[in-house]
Amino acid sequence: MKRLIIIISLIFSISISTELSAASKSKVHTFEAGKGHFLLDGEPFLIKAAEIHYARIPAEYWEHRIQMCKALGMNTICIYVFWNYHEEEEGVFNFEGERELSRFLKLCQKHDMWVIVRPGPYVCAEWEMGGLPWWLLKKENMELRSLNKNFMQAVGRFQRRLAKELQPFMLKNGGNILMVQVENEFGSYGTDKAYMSAMRDSLRAAGWEGTAMFQCDWSSNFQNNALDDLIWTLNFGTNAKPLSQFKTLRTIRPDAPLMCSEYWSGWFDGWGRKHETRSADAMVKGIGTMLENGISFSLYMTHGGTSFAHWAGANNTHFSPDCTSYDYDAPINEQGAATDKYHKLRALLQEYSDKPLPEIPLAKPIIKLNNIDFSGYAPLESNVCRVITSEQVQSFEEMDFGYGSALYACALPACPEGGYLRITEPHDFARIFVNDKLIGELYRGLKEQHTLRMPAVNQGDTLRIFVEAMGRINYSRQIHDHKGITEKVELIKSAEEVILLKDWEIYLIDARTYPVEWNKIVGKKPGYYKAEFKLKKRGDSFLDLSTWGKGFVWVNGHCLGRFWKVGPQQTLYCPAVWLKKGKNEIVVMDIIGPEEITMQGLASPIIDMLRKECLPEDAVKIERQVLQNSSVQAENQGNDAAPGAK
């Protein structure tokens, strides 16, 4: 094993040396902030950047999307690097296949596109936990985005590994990376210049010394954490007045080049909320103002793409999980085609180009899929990866479990008159059963929904709580977002008798896998469903999930992401490159159960069909009614138990 490790290390070193040697033969460029302009090789340079995320695009489509950005009139590609995408397991890095970042940058080089790298460690981006790995929450007294020793050590390790991966693409090595960002919009999180300084120093120590560094924030807070030796950029969106946004910055740094590092072309969607759009004319007008005044910009997003698998995050209002589609109402839509916004912006950018823009690449072909009938079924419990026995409930992080669902089971005491079940807290969507009969659902997105009415139960009846973890919060201090049941479960028999439920069996179901053995379908119930279908030709498609409940979909082993009938998204984007000529397989995990066990592939997406009636009933009134009794309120405030509790 040691010999194998040494050989792999030598091969990796030779590969890096070869790339560096090849890069050294290329022209070595310089980039810096000059007086009123950015300077590329000593000449004024206006950055026209397109933000796209390689993790949200199938690798086979990277080149197409880069070409779409170039044909739009952009000269730079701006990317986030999602830490948790490359280090899902602590200390194990993955930069291969769909995560081969070096391949993406080579494609940018091929098409003469400069690159801006935004490596976080926190990035927001409506991505799971803002790009931070979930396993950070396992560490004792963890304080994210701080000088916490464990956090800084983990950040430094990742930054060193990433810098090693990107060395051939640094300007000093003949590469195309113009700038690297220090942290991300920290002003909306806190004020801590010592932390920002440590982030800057950590990047330099990792290998970015000599690369231009910048920090971004809003015009309202950028001074709170601004470091004198960094380039300052601002973030704002369509309908903002760009010149007003830069008013304070112009006063403080009158000779500095100006840049909007995130000009928001649209906005993101959340489950249970209306579909978001922004005006094309307003977006183009704002960019026109910046161009007229020599202000560089990065269009967030130029192409949003898709938060495949379990990678969609959640907003913090109160808890609002993000949809799988990251279409963002961007100029290039989720499937990679040009929109009205694209054509209007391209016409503007052509005016600021000294040569004709490249032809717009053809959109990828789209196919319809006729009715796909399902033939295989497997219950949810057939995919249990681990069973935990515990006196108290445990969160996912306490069980060393990252993504998926858990079934918490225990025996109930007798409660002949019924009562209330209180779960503090169910993160994020819970279905509660007594002796396999569904008695209710709780959803964290409905504020304060922790309690539901129980039927009368006998001693020894079985309580089962199925908890699905949705995306971890990606914004604000709520990014410390633990999953599963995070504290305790109680049976409230009366105001004077509150019983803490103990002795649990917890069954863990990983969201990244599905069963391999199948039975015949009997009824429409929660579980996994499998279908096979044949294709004569491949093409992109949009799988219609409007008759299904809630869960995930896989096509030929590729997870397309999460669906939920509440909308507004009712379809999932299925790239042609994940389909096959001949036989194909679809697997659906539905934790609620379908209305109809069939599916179609549509030629266009449905991302604006909201069905709020499909949300769980709001239990806030029940919760408040239960908590009116002062003894229960006192128990909530920290007493071990209310009078008479067992």
Query: Hey, which residues does 306 pair with through a beta bridge?
Result: 325
DSSP letter for each residue of 379-434: -GGGGEEEEEEESS--BTGGGT--SEEEEEEEEPPPBTT-EEEEEEEEESEEEEEE
Q: What is the mean pLDDT of residues 600-608?
A: 98
| pLDDT for the residue numbered 25 | 54
- For 144, the 3-state DSSP assignment is coil
Superfamily of domain 380-510+620-636: Galactose-binding domain-like (2.60.120.260)
Give the Cα separation of 405 and 592 in Å (integer): 13
pLDDT tens column, 401-447 = 999 999 999 999 999 888 999 999 999 999 999 999 999 999 999 97
User: Angle at Cα 401 formed by Cα 408 and Cα 569, nearest 5°?
Assistant: 85
Is the model's pLDDT at 529 over the cut of 50? yes
Give the Cα separation of 301 and 49 in Å (integer): 10
Q: What is the mean pLDDT of residues 203-208?
A: 98
| pLDDT for the residue numbered 333 | 98
Mean pLDDT, the chain, rounded, equals: 92
Strands of 598-602's sheet in order across: 369-373, 598-602, 541-544, 571-574
Q: What is the mean pLDDT of residues 155-179?
A: 98
pLDDT tens column, 323-354 = 999 999 999 999 999 999 999 999 999 999 99
Give the Cα separation of 159 and 203 in Å (integer): 6
| Cβ 597 vs Cβ 522: under 8 Å | no
| pLDDT for the residue numbered 618 | 57
Is the model's pLDDT at 545 over the cut of 80? yes
| pLDDT for the residue numbered 5 | 42
Active site residue 262: yes
Equal fold, 47-351 vs 380-510+620-636: no
Is the model's pLDDT at 642 over the cut of 50? no
| pLDDT for the residue numbered 91 | 97
The domain spans of the chain are 47-351, 369-375+521-614, 380-510+620-636
| pLDDT for the residue numbered 172 | 95
Q: What is the mean pLDDT of residues 445-450?
A: 85
| pLDDT for the residue numbered 353 | 97
Choose between 9 and 395: higher pLDDT. Answer: 395
pLDDT tens column, 467-512 = 999 999 999 999 999 999 999 999 999 989 999 999 999 999 999 9
DSSP 140: T
| pLDDT for the residue numbered 8 | 43
148-152, 274-278, 626-630: range with lowest mean pLDDT: 626-630
Give the active site residue among 87, 262, 490, 623.
262
| pLDDT for the residue numbered 447 | 79
Which CATH number is 47-351 given?
Answer: 3.20.20.80
Which CATH number is 369-375+521-614 given?
Answer: 2.60.120.260
Give the Cα separation of 131 and 129 in Å (integer): 5
Give the active site residue among 128, 165, 185, 497.
185
Q: Note if the pTM is more than 0.75.
A: yes
Give the Cα separation of 492 and 398 in Å (integer): 26
Query: Hey, which residues does 300 pair with through a beta bridge?
Result: 264
Active site residue 209: no
Is the model's pLDDT at 630 over the cut of 70? no
| pLDDT for the residue numbered 573 | 98
| pLDDT for the residue numbered 476 | 96
Name, in order, each residue with C-beta under 8 angstroms of 253's C-beta and a sequence gap of 6 or more: 232
| pLDDT for the residue numbered 317 | 87
| pLDDT for the residue numbered 327 | 98
| pLDDT for the residue numbered 416 | 87
**β-strand 437-443 against 114-118: which pairing, if any?**
unpaired
- For 76, the 3-state DSSP assignment is strand
What are the φ/ψ torsions at residue 306 (nearest 5 degrees)?
A: -140, 135
| pLDDT for the residue numbered 623 | 42
Backbone angle region of 393, left / alpha / beta, with phi > 0 → left and psi within -120 to 50 → alpha: beta
Name, in order, each residue with C-beta under 8 angstroms of 205's C-beta and a sequence gap of 6 or more: 156, 160
Percent pLDDT > 70 in the chain is 92
| pLDDT for the residue numbered 617 | 76
